[in-house]
């Protein structure tokens, strides 16, 4: 038999039910915060990501699913959502309508990485973007949303790490110091970083190889090089977070693997996740839109990895299993009546199952048990004659005789 492509996963059964519940919680929270959904294409022109994310980043260098379509156009399965949101926003000239925009998206992303626990080639993200505000209030808006989600999904042991990458002015001096530091350690660097040192030294701090990670610990930190404005922005943000009782750690090692960020960057980690511990990551990207040829508009956003969220979610937060009614029936002339009751109950908004193979009453009860039915309605020849149906509460064992009208009203009100 042909199998699924490596790093691509089928979602089904209990797992997909869990996803649906978490997705609903997330959409609910997005709605409370006033974010509007956008559903964007999975395929974009390769250039969008090359210019948006940056040529010497891991994503663009190694991880993109890129191919030439039959018309000869170079296209890529989206590895992330932000560049597409900015493309969409400018393409539809939405900037004329308001000054401030909040979008969210949910869906699959594609990266050619080594599949392992918490890392797939098709994975899923839910993300938000705030466009139009350069003040730290925009960061506060997206970070308070994170904390609300963490609470609603029941994620424990989280740590919010924040950092500031400054602007291109602050980064010039930092870059020089960084190159100086790493030049003395060049022979220990991984091959990628030897090259990155020349083209994009900031990337060295984000390298995943063990040696480079240990070298990054003593590297100069960007926050020591912030200009007055960037420093003030960062201080204001930290003050706002404290005022809203949001705990955070300052982590100069967080520089993010995408080039478009400036000033604030952040990641949410879970201590329950092992080595792939980032649940969510984001930051400010004030020049992405203009770099892509669009208008000049400041922006902040984040994206969270759904697979990792599902792993750390607390199932107790959403085990409100729907109440199932099982209609059991035996006897020759009862099928029509039983099925008409099934459809009537469903139309009344109840989840209803029955045994399509019409086994014995005993086997139908076994199936009702297996499906965790809350009630079983029993219909036999006698019930048809008297017009009274038997309703059994599966938890208490209590059985009642009810007319059809009484039965529907009892089930829909309980
Ligand atoms: P990492 O450092 O784990 O590679 P990243 O910096 O590449 O993460 P982002 O591009 O910021 O990740 O994506 C945001 C979130 O999406 C991550 O925090 C993670 O939860 C999730 N994510 C990223 N890549 C994958 C993947 N290949 N499989 C599953 N989840 C992923
Ligand atoms: Mg990555």
DSSP conformation letters of 329-385? E-STT-HHHHHHHHHHHHHTT-EEEE-TT---HHHHHHHHHHTT-SEEEEE-HHHHH
From the CA of 122, the nearest ligand is 1
Question: Which ligand approaches the C-alpha of residue 257 most closely?
Answer: 1
Count of alpha carbons within 13 Å of 218, Cβ hemisphere only? 8
Instruction: Decide: 44 in ligand 1 pocket, CB within 6 A.
Output: no
**CA-to-CA separations, 237 to 44, 59, 371, in angstroms, rounded:** 34, 29, 50
Residue nearest to atom 28 of ligand 1 (CA): 119
Radius of gyration of the chain measured on its C-alpha atoms:
28
Is 345 touching ligand 1 by the criterion CB < 6 Å? no
Compute the distance between CA of residue 265 and CA of residue 241 in angstroms, rounded to an integer: 14
Distance 223 CA to ligand 1 centre (A): 24
- Out of 5, 109, 305, 310, give the residue to mutate to test ligand 1, the one with the largest number of ligand atoms within 8 Å of its CB: 305
| C-alpha of 16 from chain center | 14
If we measure between CA atoms, which residue out of 125, 129, 92 comes closest to residue 111? 125
Query: Half-sphere exposure of 309 toward its Cβ, with a 13 Å CA cutoff?
Result: 27
Smallest CA-to-CA distance from 81 within 116, 118, 111 is with 111
Task: Determine the distance separating the centroid of ligand 1 and the alpha carbon of 174, expressed in angstroms.
Answer: 26
119 Cβ closer than 6 Å to some ligand 1 atom: yes
User: What whole-number distance in Å separates Cα of residue 98 and Cα of residue 208?
Assistant: 41
- Residue of the CA atom closest to atom 2 of ligand 1: 278
In a structure prediction context, what are the per-residue pLDDT tens digits for the chain, which is 414 residues long? Answer: 999 999 999 999 989 999 999 999 999 999 999 999 999 999 999 999 999 999 888 899 899 999 999 999 999 999 999 999 999 999 999 998 889 999 999 999 999 999 998 899 999 999 999 999 999 999 999 999 999 999 999 999 999 999 999 998 998 889 999 999 999 888 888 988 988 888 888 888 988 888 898 988 889 999 999 999 999 999 999 999 999 999 999 999 898 877 889 999 999 999 988 878 899 999 999 999 999 999 999 999 999 999 999 999 988 887 766 789 999 999 878 999 999 999 999 999 999 999 988 789 999 999 999 999 999 999 999 888 999 999 999 999 999 999 999 999 999 887
- For residue 341, what are its two tokens? 């009751």
Instruction: Report the separation in Å between the CA atom of 307 and the middle of ligand 1, taken as the mean of its atom positions.
Output: 10
Tell me how far the alpha carbon of residue 384 lies from the centroid of ligand 2, in angstroms: 64
Strands (E), 122-261: 122-131, 158-164, 249-250
285 lines ligand 1 (CB under 6 A): no
Q: For position 413, what pLDDT does the model report?
A: 86
Beta-bridged to residue 212, according to DSSP, are none
CB-based burial, 301-330: b 16+ in 10 Å, e otherwise: bbbbbbbbbbbbbeeeebeeeeebbbbbbb
Q: What is the pLDDT of residue 403?
A: 94
Instruction: Note whether 277 and 270 are within 8 A (CB).
Output: yes
Task: Count CB neighbours of 21 within 10 A.
Answer: 18
User: What φ, ψ does residue 41 adopt, rounded to 5°?
Assistant: -60, 150
Q: Which residues contact 262 (CB under 8 A, 6 or more apart)?
A: 165, 166, 167, 168, 284, 285, 286, 287
pLDDT for the residue numbered 257? 78
Ligand nearest to the CA of 53: 1
Closest CA to 265 of 293, 230, 295, 290: 230
Q: Is 29 near ligand 1, meaning CB less than 6 Å away?
A: no
Q: Among the atoms of ligand 1, which is closest to the Cα of residue 125? A: 16
Q: What are the distances in angstroms from CA 274 to CA 85, 123, 206, 281, 376? A: 31, 18, 18, 17, 45
Q: How many CA atoms lie within 13 A of 278 on its CB side?
A: 15
The predicted pLDDT at position 321 comes to 67
Neighbours of 333 (CB within 10 A): 8
Cα angle: 404, vertex 341, 365; to 5 degrees? 100
Spatial distance between the Cα atoms of 247 and 396, rounded to a whole number of angstroms = 46
Which atom belonging to ligand 1 lies closest to the Cα atom of 118? 29
Ligand 1 atom with the smallest distance to the CA of 268 is 18
CA distance 195 to 55: 13
Q: How many Å lie between the centroid of ligand 2 and the Cα of residue 59?
A: 7
3-state secondary structure of 73: coil
Cα–Cα distance between 24 and 358 in angstroms, integer?
36
Ligand 1, closest atom to CA 279?
Answer: 20
Probe target for ligand 1 pocket from 62, 282, 303, with the most ligand atoms within 8 Å of CB: 303
Q: Report how far residue 150's alpha carbon sits from residue 78's, in angstroms, rounded to the nearest whole number.
A: 26
Give the per-residue pLDDT at 181: 92
Q: Which of 281, 300, 302 to mutate to test the pocket of ligand 1 (most atoms within 8 A of CB)?
A: 281
Cross-strand pairs, 119: 116
Q: Whose Cα sits closest to atom 11 in ligand 1?
A: 281
Please tell me the number of the ligand nearest to residue 276's CA. Answer: 1
User: Is the distance from the beta carbon of residue 253 to the nearest atom of ligand 1 less than 6 Å?
Assistant: no
């Amino acid at each position: 038999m042909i199998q699924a492509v490596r790093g691509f996963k089928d979602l089904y059964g209990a797992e997909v039910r869990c996803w649906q519940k978490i997705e609903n919680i997330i959409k609910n929270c997005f709605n409370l915060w006033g974010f509007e959904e956008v559903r964007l294409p999975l395929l974009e022109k390769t250039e969008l990501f090359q210019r948006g994310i940056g040529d010497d980043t891991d994503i663009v260098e190694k991880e993109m699913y890129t191919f030439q379509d039959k018309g000869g156009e170079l296209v890529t399965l989206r590895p992330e959502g932000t560049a597409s949101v900015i493309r969409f926003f400018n393409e539809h000239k939405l900037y004329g309508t308001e000054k401030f925009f909040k979008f969210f998206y949910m869906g699959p992303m594609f990266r050619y990485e080594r599949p392992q626990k918490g890392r797939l080639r098709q994975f899923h993200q839910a993300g938000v973007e705030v466009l139009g505000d350069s003040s730290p209030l925009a960061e506060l808006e997206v970070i308070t949303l994170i904390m609300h989600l963490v609470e609603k999904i029941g994620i424990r042991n989280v740590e919010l790490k924040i950092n500031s990458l400054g602007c291109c002015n602050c980064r010039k001096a930092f870059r020089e110091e960084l190159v100086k530091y790493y030049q003395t350690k060049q022979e220990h660097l991984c091959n990628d970083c030897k090259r990155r040192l020349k083209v994009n030294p900031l990337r060295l701090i984000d390298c995943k190889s063990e040696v480079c990670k240990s070298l990054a610990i003593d590297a100069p930190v960007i926050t020591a090089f912030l200009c007055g404005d960037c420093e003030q922005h960062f201080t204001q943000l930290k003050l706002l977070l404290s005022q809203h009782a949001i705990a955070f750690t300052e982590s100069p090692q967080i520089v993010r693997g995408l080039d478009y960020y400036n000033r604030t960057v952040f990641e949410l980690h879970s201590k329950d996740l092992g080595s792939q511990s980032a649940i969510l990551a984001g930051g400010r990207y004030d020049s992405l839109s203009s770099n892509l040829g669009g208008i000049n508009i400041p922006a902040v956003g984040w994206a969270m990895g759904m697979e990792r969220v599902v792993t750390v979610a607390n199932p107790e937060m959403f085990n409100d299993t729907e109440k199932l009614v099982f209609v059991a029936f035996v006897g020759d002339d009862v099928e029509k009546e039983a099925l008409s009751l099934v459809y009537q109950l469903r139309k009344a908004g109840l989840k209803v199952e029955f045994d399509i193979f019409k086994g014995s009453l005993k086997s139908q009860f076994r199936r009702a048990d297996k499906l965790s039915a809350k009630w079983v309605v029993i219909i036999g020849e006698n019930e048809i004659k008297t017009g009274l149906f038997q309703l059994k509460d599966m938890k208490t064992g209590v059985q009642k005789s009810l007319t059809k009208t009484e039965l529907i009203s009892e089930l829909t009100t309980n």
